[in-house]
Structure 1
Amino acid sequence: MLPVKSLPQPWIRSARYDGLLILAPPFLALLVVLVLPAPYRSTAQMPLLAWVALVVLIDVAHVYGTLFQTYFDPLKRRQRRTLLWVVPVACYLAGVALHSLGGLVFWRVLTYLAVFHFIRQQYGFLRIYGRQEAPAPGRWLGTALIYYATIYPLLYWHLSPGRNFNWFIDGEFVQTDWPAARTAATVLYVGLIAAYISREAWFWYRTRQLNLPRNLLLGGTLVSWYAGIVWFNGDLAFTLLNVVSHGIPYLALVWHGGAVRSQTPAPPRRGAWAGRYGLAVFLGAVVLFAFLEEGLWDGLVWREHGRVFTWFQHLPAVANPALLMWLVPLLALPQSTHYVLDGFIWRRQK
């Protein structure tokens, strides 16, 4: 057995902060799903209040958290001046070009971009929580599992007949019913989980060390993606597990400021919006932007939630394909920019 040397757990801020806002959300979301009435776990039903809470107040709102790491931060604006104007322009022009090929083409590409973004967020958290670990045999299993914990449910989705939920719109994924491929993907999934657990047990036996946040992150990723897509087949269950597990940790990371230290928890670095009412300003801003965006979508395009966006119903509904080609990529620009910028703003040398 190797000599035992106790190391501090690699929290981003603290055990309480990380535990409640970054690591607990998928487990809490699963508990809520388990107590839902059965129809909401297996049908396309989505109560209006649940849609507002999950889609508007968390999913769309978290997109605007990126503003506080980019455009609202004077230092970041100076450091990334070129990136911050090139990305939205490029995203809009690419969106118009895609929409000119058909609305489904645009939404399909945006969906796969969103999926990639969701997957990479989990990998990013894994890297943060593994930043203090020295190279050790089998360490690669953590990376393999965090990726396959997200990819396997997506494969299951692609290889199954229609589900009772979607990411953005119906038909966005290329799907086919292929039971043999689902079985093969499942065998690999179970095998990888078993290999990872065996490696962690062996490493703990040898060193008496356990990276708690990394393992909780992996467990939460397995829970939220498997339960949301494979185990349950309901729109509310999928949205709850998908949105809560992704949006709340992201907002928590933004509020903390992304400060990651190598040894001990660091005080939050929240930039220009810190202060006595900083949290209220932060949450109020992202919710306001989300409400305005969804109101414009509903008034101009979808016309599905008039009870929520009453004022926006006075806007003219746009149905002309030529106008939609320019309008839809513009309304989707906050999301597409968020997906692309996030590939750059969280990168660190170590």
Structure 2
Amino acid sequence: MLDQSGAAYLEGAKPPAERSRWLFSRTADLLAFPGSAAVSLLLLWVGHLAGLLEGDTPGWAWVPAILLIDIAHVWSTGFRVYFDRQELARRPLLYFGVPAASFVLCAALYSEGDHLFWSVLAYLAVFHFVRQQYGWVMLYRARCGERDRAGRLIDTAAIYLTTVYPLVYWHAHLPRRFWWFLEGDFIALPGLLATVLAPFYWLALAAWLGHSAYRTLQGDANPGKDLVILTTALCWYIGIITFNSDYAFTVTNVVIHGVPYMVLVYWTMRRRPTAAGREVSTAAPAEAALQPDTPPTARRISRVAVFVGTIWLLAYAEALVWDRAVFHENSWLFGPAVDPGNWKLVLVPLLAVPQVTHYVLDGFIWKRKTNPGYLDLQQS
């Protein structure tokens, strides 16, 4: 979720001139943020040409967007926590307690009814999506040493309203042709609420544009932060307000959320700090199998292959059980449906555990004060 207030990030921050303004590297940041947004908009254009905006997301788009990005990015948390013995040993109560508590909570909700369960899960997911975009903005502010209160207020208003206003519009114009998890998982709001919020939305964006232009003219630009706000505004407005389409919402929503998160996890995975102050990678077992003289490029490919291959395999396994036992929507990929019977009361909450755990742990694993060294993303 990357949901820290920002103050923790600023401790020990160097002046902007002394270090890069990018989180990872210029290339990695551009690929992760505007790059993922460009892919989203390209897929939207392809869908428009193919006449897909009036129907559900087809299988060829569902696989990369939902399976390989949305579900997979949830499992990438494993590389940050559960595949790292050192990290697990550091906070075992948190890392084992959250999944256990998630299961108990999900089981209690599901026992009260399917609709209540999916509505609560949808709003938890919405909160997570909104806070993640805010977190990126705070990370970039910290990276550039921005401490001014006015600038922070402007940035906060801009990133929150670029996400919250489209969501309010959605709630105020139900039913739509798309939903978060299942049809009817959102509560309808009065249309007047969206009308009242609209001027604040445009005012916040105008204030951000003016402030960003001023800082740029002063030679104090923060391109990464501005790209996050810009791409969030574009994708959320287009995917939720401009189009009333399941396909449009899917391709504009999950790509810009999941791809940057996986980049963050991979980057921290390969720069994990140790007590001795040296870096180790949670992909070390795969690298150990390589010859000592293996070229650096081959080692990088090996790390990426282990990372991506693992989360894709786990995502497929989860999606397979969901589809065969619960949703029955993609038999062409997962096989025929099965009836879990009364076991569904246990199976559905159990399947929701990875997702809820991901949402909750995101509020802990990226805090600088309690995770020293993890967010020094450009250390060599």
What is the CA–CA distance in structure 1 between the aligned matches of 2:163 and 2:52, rounded to whole Å? 20
Structure 2 spans left out of the alignment, 5+ residues: 1-15, 272-277, 288-298, 370-374, 376-380
8 Å contact kept, 1:141–1:195: yes
**1:316 pairs with 321, 338, 341, which one?**
338
Task: Give the RMSD, CA atoms, in angstroms.
Answer: 2.4
8 Å contact kept, 2:36–2:255: yes
Q: Which residue of 1 aligns with 2:324?
A: 299
Alignment pair present for 1:288 and 2:313: yes
Q: Which residue of 2 aligns with 1:339?
A: 359
Given the superposition, is the C-alpha separation of residues 259 and 225 from structure 1 closer, same or farther in structure 2, using an over 3 Å criterion?
Answer: farther
Indicate the SS of the match to 1:209: coil
More displaced stretch, 223-232 vs 130-139: 130-139
Q: Which residue of 2 aligns with 1:165?
A: 178
Alignment pair present for 1:82 and 2:93: yes
Once the two structures are TM-superposed, the CA of residue 27 in structure 1 deviates from its matched residue by 3.0
Query: For 1:270-329, what per-residue CA distance to the aligned partner results, in whole angstroms no more than 9, with x for missing partners?
Result: 43447332211111110111111111111111222111012xx3x7313x4x53222111
Matched residue type, 2:215? F
What is the CA–CA distance in structure 2 between the aligned matches of 1:7 and 1:143, rounded to whole Å? 25
**1:17 pairs with 25, 28, 41, which one?**
28
Matched residue type, 1:172? D
What is the CA–CA distance in structure 1 between the aligned matches of 2:367 and 2:228, rounded to whole Å? 19
Given the superposition, is the C-alpha separation of residues 316 and 28 from structure 1 closer, same or farther in structure 2, using an over 3 Å criterion?
Answer: closer
8 Å contact kept, 2:283–2:306: no
What is the CA–CA distance in structure 2 between the aligned matches of 1:30 and 1:269, rounded to whole Å? 37
Q: Which residue of 2 aligns with 1:93?
A: 104
Once the two structures are TM-superposed, the CA of residue 6 in structure 1 deviates from its matched residue by 4.8
Once the two structures are TM-superposed, the CA of residue 61 in structure 1 deviates from its matched residue by 0.8
What is the CA–CA distance in structure 1 between the aligned matches of 2:40 and 2:252, rounded to whole Å? 5
Alignment pair present for 1:239 and 2:259: no
**2:166 pairs with 133, 138, 153, which one?**
153
More displaced stretch, 134-143 vs 209-218: 134-143
Q: Which residue of 1 aligns with 2:5?
A: none
Indicate the SS of the match to 1:307: helix
Q: Which residue of 2 aligns with 1:201?
A: 213
What is the CA–CA distance in structure 1 between the aligned matches of 2:178 and 2:102, rounded to whole Å? 26
Q: Which residue of 1 aligns with 2:150?
A: 138
What is the CA–CA distance in structure 1 between the aligned matches of 2:357 and 2:193, rounded to whole Å? 34
**1:174 pairs with 169, 184, 187, which one?**
187
Query: For 1:52-86, what per-residue CA distance to the aligned partner results, in whole angstroms no more than 9, with x for missing partners?
Result: 12111111111100000001011111112111110
The two structures have a TM-score, normalised by structure 2, of 0.82
Query: For 1:23-73, what per-residue CA distance to the aligned partner results, in whole angstroms no more than 9, with x for missing partners?
Result: 421233113313423675642322111111211111111110000000101
Off by >6 Å, runs of 4+ in structure 1 = none
Given the superposition, is the C-alpha separation of residues 253 and 280 from structure 1 closer, same or farther in structure 2, using an over 3 Å criterion?
Answer: same
Alignment pair present for 1:279 and 2:292: no
8 Å contact kept, 1:66–1:254: yes
8 Å contact kept, 1:157–1:230: yes
Structure 1 spans left out of the alignment, 5+ residues: 261-266
8 Å contact kept, 2:73–2:259: yes
Once the two structures are TM-superposed, the CA of residue 259 in structure 1 deviates from its matched residue by 8.4
Aligned residue pairs: how many?
335
What is the CA–CA distance in structure 1 between the aligned matches of 2:112 and 2:60, rounded to whole Å? 35
Query: For 1:84-114, what per-residue CA distance to the aligned partner results, in whole angstroms no more than 9, with x for missing partners?
Result: 1100000000001111111111111111111
Q: Which residue of 1 aligns with 2:294?
A: none
More displaced stretch, 42-51 vs 119-128: 42-51
Once the two structures are TM-superposed, the CA of residue 134 in structure 1 deviates from its matched residue by 3.5
Percent identity over the alignment is 38
What is the CA–CA distance in structure 1 between the aligned matches of 2:149 and 2:363, rounded to whole Å? 29
Indicate the SS of the match to 2:166: helix
Alignment pair present for 1:190 and 2:202: yes
What is the CA–CA distance in structure 1 between the aligned matches of 2:188 and 2:115, rounded to whole Å? 14
Given the superposition, is the C-alpha separation of residues 40 and 251 from structure 1 closer, same or farther in structure 2, using an over 3 Å criterion?
Answer: farther
8 Å contact kept, 1:255–1:270: no
What is the CA–CA distance in structure 2 between the aligned matches of 1:24 and 1:346, rounded to whole Å? 23
8 Å contact kept, 1:126–1:214: yes
Once the two structures are TM-superposed, the CA of residue 333 in structure 1 deviates from its matched residue by 1.1
